[in-house]
Every structure is written in structure tokens, then in C-alpha cells.
Structure 1
């Protein structure tokens, strides 16, 4: 009789447990649009947890938020003790900085601001003398983290800017939040950058996403290829839409600033899409490849076979595609 009651209670429990249902969350965050799709059989306040994740990222490393930790550090506050997220992003930034020979560098922010792509005001005159002066404050080796969690600068003018990695990192944190709430199958997209885990249960296949066609009209984006992702992050960078024209000189500046020579100029890579184990890593490498150019990027990929890349690059009279050998394994036929 006792075993009968235990079995009956187990049957009742299992009958109450719902099959995983698709939940979709969309909106605006970090100045761009987002879409979160996941399957869950348990209810939890995903909106509250999502907003909390975004708020924590902003409080730690948003250069557009004056009271964030990174803004206070950039303003000269040496008493800020950075949080775990800040430490993780700094450590990953240093890893990619070393892997790319300094072509990925979050201290390039002072130049980004000078060109008018950051929260600061652009310089009225940006000649070679001004660039040479600003480059004295660029270099991740000019930043260190003390044992008590404080950022130490070689010079107070050194300016940290994690915008080229923070979005990817934010996506990774959202993925962790979902996993902590029992979610195994999800796709997180923020501003075109992605993190996928598990499968699309409705279609019983890996999550499928597209690589944007740079020749598509701004208001009618098309895709040049599709890939399948599982437990991978994907991020892209391109100069084909992000640029600024100086109103006085008519000179056109692209948003990718080369930290080595300080120039906001095009390389032969028009867009780079990277797949890596985390979206933050994909984000940082995609940015670096834009400055490295095709030949140097290929050499980096040869040494780091845990990341895969898809480049659209300029030829003499047109454009062409290069992809790393492993990237082909993600393509949808």
C-alpha cells in the first residue's frame, strides 16, 4: 500500500510537469535590439533577470553611463574596486591583445573618441601630430590590475573602452542566466551577435543564423550564408555602414581604429564574422581582424584553431569570400 501511494504521487508529479515551451523575449538594450528564444518547462521571471543582467553590465563597463565603474576609472578615480565581470573582460581582452599582436586593444578608446565614434567629443583637428600624441596613451600593457582589485594606469590619460567586447560578454552572461534557470536550448541575439545552445526543439535541428550580405540595402538586410550553431558564440564586425564624414574636410573615417598606427582607415577586410566558444571572444577577434587585414588575420587563425572566421574582403574590382577551414563545418548546405 505504501509503495502504491509513492507510485501514485510520482505519476501525479510527472503528469503536472509541462513539456518545454518556446519563450521569446524582444526589445532594446545597450543601444540596439535584442531577441532571446529559449525552451523551458519551468516558469521564472526572465524579464526581471534579463534586465538585471543588462543593468549589471552597464554599471560595470558602460562608457556611456557617467556613474559606471569604467567611466569613473577613466575620469581618474583610483579607488574603484572592479567586480568579477570587469576582471573577466580585462583578462579576455589581454588574451586577444596578445594573440593579435596588439591589434585588439581596449585602450584605443581615446582614439575612438577623437574620431567621433565614442561618447567623448571628437577633436577639431586630427592631424599626424595629434595622432602621435594620443598614441602615447594606447597600449594594454599600460594597464594593470592590483591585488586588491583596482585598475592601475601608467598614465592617468589612458582610457579603457570595452565596447568592442562588452556586448558579446553580455550575451554570454544572459546565456549563463538561462542555464542557471534550467534552460538548455536557447538562442540569444543582441545587435546581430549571437550565442546558441542546444537545438531548436520545434524544428528538431541546431539553431540556424545568417551572415549579413554587405551589398544589401540598409533597410533590407540580406544574408550571404547561413550557419548552424550549438554551444558557440558568433559575432561580426564591418565598416560598410559604420563611418563618419568630417563636416569640414569631407574626410571619411571608418569606425575601426587601428591601435598600432592610430588610423581609422579601411583594411582589405570589409566584414569579419567569427565563431568561438564564447560570444565575447568572437566579438573581440572580429574587431581585431578588421584592423589586421586578410593576410595577418590568416596567420592568427593558423595559430588559434579554436576560432573560425568568415571574411568578405576587397579585391581589385570587386569583393570575395575567405573562410577558415573549420568554418565550413558550420555552413548550412
Structure 2
């Protein structure tokens, strides 16, 4: 899926042999790739994308779980997140092929973007929850990259727990989930990812939930004790067009354009990494006003890093009340 993975753990006495445990963890990841990867042309997802109009596809339990949640986020966010935005992702060069960093790539013309949006509106996938199957109306193209990696982390965590491991930190593609403590009794501390191309990170937490500063103090440290964390940002993959405007890999499925709402990144804490992964993307697209309102209404622990209008000005951060409560 274009990324790597790692697990750190405290292995209890009498637990599964390390080589066997690693094989079990790899098997979980192989399953996610075989079902949900758009980097593997033989995956179930890619076979669905190529399937003829009017076909139904039975879903294995993992694929169904991810698709069910992804469609919930799509509906709850009023389309700010869309698991069927595969054609749009490919058009902007952020898919598995025809990428923005390859020779011969050009940013799409407005007419091409409009055509993809029209096709998406005319070809919405339908999930039959009772029968656990997915309908291909013809031309629907899934891209679960903003949720499947988080789900893969959850599968790693569940695999570890099945093998008697209670103290661990699992990671895939930069998304993490932790439980228990290390040998010294300390939790699994994780530093919130900063924005490398910003002029600063943020200041100190304020009572109103906003923070600003002229320097870049240490990023918040999170104790992942039964929690997962995911960050979505406009700095991870992007390119600049001749007009010098940043074209981020985070796309707004409603407009068909890369985000330009001042959000540099959104970090979400949640019990499940799948939720943190998908919600961080949705909130990034929604922006600081609608995104923060969404987070407050649903108790989502979120932290927004925002770019200033003035060049060279430091970033500012806004946090939800659930985020501040968890960091007490």
C-alpha cells in the first residue's frame, strides 16, 4: 500500500515465538492488501473498480467493516470524505500510477475535474448491509487509502492481543495505536507530527482551545494507552504548479480540488485507528470552522494546525474540547 509498518512490544514469558508472531502480523497486513489496496492490481478493491455496471460483489467481513464505516463518515461529513474518490485521486496524480512525481504529469484542466465529479455523482456505490455486498453501478472507483491503513493498525493490535501481548505500539503509514506500558512503567509516548515546511509549530494550550506563538515549542506528547492517533496534512505529498500554488494530496471530493482552507494538518485521537485515520482526513477537508463544529458535536478529539495568511507567520493550533480533556 505504498508504506511500511512496525511493531514494538513487551513480549510476555511463554508467548508466541517472535518469528511466528511476526508471520501472524504480516498475514494480517497481507489480508488488508489483498482486499483493500489500490497499489495491488489483483486486490478485491481493484477488481471491484474494473467490474461491469450492474454487478454485485460479496464482501469479506474486513472489507465490509471498513466500507461500512467509510460510508458513514462520508454521510456524516456531508461528502468531505469520500471512499469512492479514486478517479479524482488518480486525476490529480496521487494514485498508484500516473503520479505527480513522474515525467509527463500535468495538473488536470478544470473540464477534466468537472467530468470526474459528474461521473462520481452518476455512479455511487451502494452497500447492501443486510447481505454484506457492494453494488457497482458502472465506473465507481474506490480508494480506501485514508481508512485502510488505520484499519491495518487495528488488525495488528488485535493480532497482538490474540497472542497474549498486552503492551505494544503498532504503526503503519505513520498511524499508531498503543496499549499498556514499556518495561520502565512509562506509557508509549508519541510526539504529534509537526509541519516541516511551516515557520513554526504552535504555542501553549489555552483555556479557549486555541494556541499561537512566535517560536516552535516542543510538539505535544501523547500517551497511547488504549488509544490510536492519525494525522492528515497538506505537507505529506504535494507539488507546486507554475503559479506557485500548493497542490496537496488531500482533495476535497465536493469541489474536486486540493484543499486550500488554511489547514496544515489535523491530528485525531480515538480508540480505533480506523476512526482516527478517516476522521483526520474528513476534518482536514472540512476546515477549522466546520471541522471543529463537527468534532465538538461528536466528541472527536482533534487538533488543527492552521497556516497564517501572512507569509512567514507562525502556525496556530485549535483543539476540540475532547482533545483537551484527553491531554489533562
- Residue 107 of structure 1 aligns to a residue whose secondary structure is coil
Shift in alpha-carbon separation, 1:320–1:62, aligned structure 2, 3 A: same
Q: Which structure exhibits the higher relative contact order, with contacts defined as CA atoms closer than 8 Å and separated by 6 or more residues?
A: 2
Shift in alpha-carbon separation, 1:315–1:216, aligned structure 2, 3 A: closer
Counterpart CA distance in 1 for 2:308 and 2:158 is 41
Other-structure match for 1:31: 2
Shift in alpha-carbon separation, 1:50–1:136, aligned structure 2, 3 A: same
1:229 and 1:330 in contact (8 A); partners too: no
Shift in alpha-carbon separation, 1:216–1:136, aligned structure 2, 3 A: closer
Unaligned runs of 5+ in 2: 100-104, 199-216
After TM superposition, give the deviation of residue 116 of structure 1 in Å. 0.3
The TM-score with structure 2 as length reference comes to 0.83
User: Highest Rg: 1 or 2?
Assistant: 1
2:268 and 2:302 in contact (8 A); partners too: yes
Out of 149, 171, 178, the residue aligned to residue 167 of structure 1 is 149
The TM-score with structure 1 as length reference comes to 0.82
After TM superposition, give the deviation of residue 125 of structure 1 in Å. 6.7
Other-structure match for 1:12: none
Q: Does 1:178 align with 2:160?
A: yes
Other-structure match for 1:203: 184
Residue deviations 1:202-225, cap 9 Å, x none?
1213221001221379xxxx9622
2:231 and 2:277 in contact (8 A); partners too: yes
Unaligned runs of 5+ in 1: 1-29
Q: CA RMSD in A?
A: 2.4
Q: Does 1:312 align with 2:305?
A: yes
Residue deviations 1:44-76, cap 9 Å, x none?
311110111111001101111011100000011
Counterpart CA distance in 2 for 1:322 and 1:140 is 37
Shift in alpha-carbon separation, 1:162–1:251, aligned structure 2, 3 A: same
After TM superposition, give the deviation of residue 268 of structure 1 in Å. 1.3
2:147 and 2:278 in contact (8 A); partners too: yes
